[in-house]
């Protein structure tokens, strides 16, 4: 298993390091079972191996599993931060490839629907992080719950993961519709997982893009696809990223291509040249 030793508070940047904006990306879906946790874990691993400081935030706060996918056994998690027992930097652990992981709780009912106070606590903790980061990847829960909306609104970029299943496309459309119509989110990127071919993946994208363009007057961007690969399940059984265990596997090549796209893009920044993790105004419509 990967090292799950908690980080010491105030992880210092290397000497001479220059502060730079972080890209905060949510990886989300309308339907469960589409593989977004594996996508998140592997993209984080690849980016980290490319010397990009990358943190994974397990945003499925009630049914966390990013730690299981990565073979980690954290002693503390987000629950201990929100109850005031620990700071965020005290519960973060290092995963394979040097990924920073903020583990969430599993099986704690109150974590499935965070209160406004808990959300504010999380915002304050994240904005106070001293560790310089290039990427923050948030693995959200599936669906359209308050927590899913919260983390997607907090993100600067949204990647929606779908498969070719009709229910996956229908639920993805519903998620995009709510974020667009109720919360004015206008940019979405689609990643097709478990595709049988590049052609099939492109067809899946075109179907959803046609629906959003016609009914929402919104165009989504195609980020890429991950081919169906039996090696992925083997990697899950070994609790390792497929990109680490099987670097030459077809799915790994697809994931690497997507990571390359993210790697070479320039982050969007605020007008003052900075990018904060989260903005408290996302809680305007939050639950008390």
pLDDT tens per residue across span 33-80: 999 999 999 999 999 999 999 999 998 887 778 999 999 999 998 889
CB burial class (10 A; 0-12, 13-18, 19+) of residue 85?
exposed
Q: pTM score, two decimals?
A: 0.87
- Report the alpha-carbon distance of residue 184 to residue 203 in Å, rounded: 27
**CB contact at 8 A, 178 and 142:** no
**CB contact at 8 A, 20 and 134:** yes
For the chain, which domains are there?
A: 23-266 (3.40.50.300)
Q: What is the pLDDT of residues 76-123, one digit of tens each?
A: 988 898 888 998 889 999 999 999 999 988 767 677 788 888 888 888
């Amino acid at each position: 298993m990967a090292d799950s030793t908690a980080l010491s508070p105030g992880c210092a940047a290397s000497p001479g390091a220059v502060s730079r904006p972080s890209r905060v990306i949510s990886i989300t879906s309308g339907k469960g079972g589409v593989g977004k946790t594996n996508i998140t874990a592997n993209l984080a691993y690849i980016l980290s191996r490319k010397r990009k400081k990358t943190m994974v935030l397990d945003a499925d706060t009630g049914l966390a599993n990013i730690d299981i996918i990565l073979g980690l056994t954290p002693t503390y998690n987000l629950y201990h931060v929100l109850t005031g027992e620990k700071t965020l930097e005290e519960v973060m652990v290092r995963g394979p490839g040097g990924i920073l992981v903020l583990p969430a709780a599993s099986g704690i009912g109150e974590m499935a629907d965070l209160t406004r106070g808990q959300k504010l606590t999380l915002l304050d903790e994240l904005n106070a992080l001293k560790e310089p980061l290039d990427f923050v990847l948030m693995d959200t829960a599936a669906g359209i719950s308050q927590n899913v909306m919260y983390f997607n609104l907090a993100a600067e970029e949204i990647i929606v993961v779908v498969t070719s299943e009709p229910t996956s496309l229908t639920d993805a459309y519903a998620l995009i519709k709510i974020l667009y119509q109720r919360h004015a989110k206008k940019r979405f990127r689609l990643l097709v997982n478990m595709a049988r071919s590049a052609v099939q993946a492109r067809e899946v994208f075109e179907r959803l893009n046609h629906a959003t363009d016609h009914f929402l007057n919104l165009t989504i961007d195609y980020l890429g696809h991950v081919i169906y690969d039996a090696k992925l399940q083997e990697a899950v059984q070994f609790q390792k990223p497929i990109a680490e265990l099987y670097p030459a596997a077809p799915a790994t090549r697809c994931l690497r291509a997507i990571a390359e796209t993210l790697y070479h893009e320039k982050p969007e920044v605020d007008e003052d040249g900075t990018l904060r993790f989260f903005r408290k105004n996302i809680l305007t419509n939050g639950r008390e």
